[in-house]
Amino acid sequence: MAKRREAFRREIPLQLDALYPEARMQDKKTTFIYRIIRWFVWLFSPKFRTVGLEKLPDEACIIVGNHSQMYGPIAAEIFLPGRHEIWCAGQMMHRDEVAAYAFEDFWSFKPRWTHGFFRLLSRLITPLSVCVFNNAHTIPVYHDTRLLTTYRTSVDALQAGRSVVIFPEKNVRRNNILYAFQDKFVDLARFYYKKAGVALSFVPLYVAPARKTLYLGDPIRFDPTAPIAAERERICGRLADAITGIACSLPEHTVVPYRNIRKRDYPKNTPLEVYNDEKTCG
């Protein structure tokens, strides 16, 4: 029996790579359990294709997309081609922080009478969260003094030729496609310019689960000569407009919003000629 279990452990990872070679781990050792979890996620999740790969610059860049609840990070981890790392909430990597963060971020908007169930669920997913987020291609993001570690790790990844994928939405609605962006991610380009002397490009990404597609837009170059506050505003605005423009240019489909709301309340993408009407925005 022991020999059969060992054979199974050796054989399954090879089977996973054979079934989906693009999902192989790169430059990072992962646990056997995580590889099984990842394969099951791939098996049951929508199979995303990527449109606009020719728009990616030759060098590493920062890819910024709509969160689309968990679809964005999952699609980026499993289906987005190329070597990349994904910014993730650092709390999801630490056993003693997962439950509180998960409830607040994922389920606090649910009806109050369901909160007891979702608080319990937040505790139950803790081991899974710690396993997944510590094995995936992730960079933990913090909102305290540890943020400097996030920047340093990200700069190292970029210098190693890995792009950084960021989903910066926060709970402030911008329009029917996006919620507003937290803007401090733009500072990563400033840190990188100081370290490497290279002005990074930010590439917009629209995640469309209903179309099983990741859409990449035209890159936006960081200007190291401009004040960082102005660059945050300019780059966030242009990225948000680009993502919205991609979404609105597509045939009508359901948009998976940042907030975990009822599916019947999910918005539709709005054609560009209608989107400019203020009544359909916001």
CB 185 within 8 A of CB 192: no
CB 235 within 8 A of CB 217: no
Nearest Cα to Cα of residue 139 among 112, 114, 167? 167
Cα gap 66→257, rounded to integer Å: 8
Q: Is residue 244 predicted with pLDDT exceeding 60? A: yes
The pLDDT of residue 272 is 53
Cα gap 256→168, rounded to integer Å: 15
Q: What pLDDT, in 10s, does the model give residues 10-23?
A: 433 333 333 333 33
Q: What pLDDT, in 10s, does the model give residues 183-225?
A: 999 999 999 999 999 999 999 999 999 999 999 999 999 999 9
Cα gap 152→71, rounded to integer Å: 27
Bigger pLDDT: 19 or 140? 140
Q: How confident is the model at residue 108 (pLDDT cuts 50, 70, 90)?
A: confident
Mean pLDDT taken over the chain: 86
pTM: 0.84
Q: How confident is the model at residue 54 (pLDDT cuts 50, 70, 90)?
A: very high
Average pLDDT over residues 39-60: 94
The pLDDT of residue 23 is 36
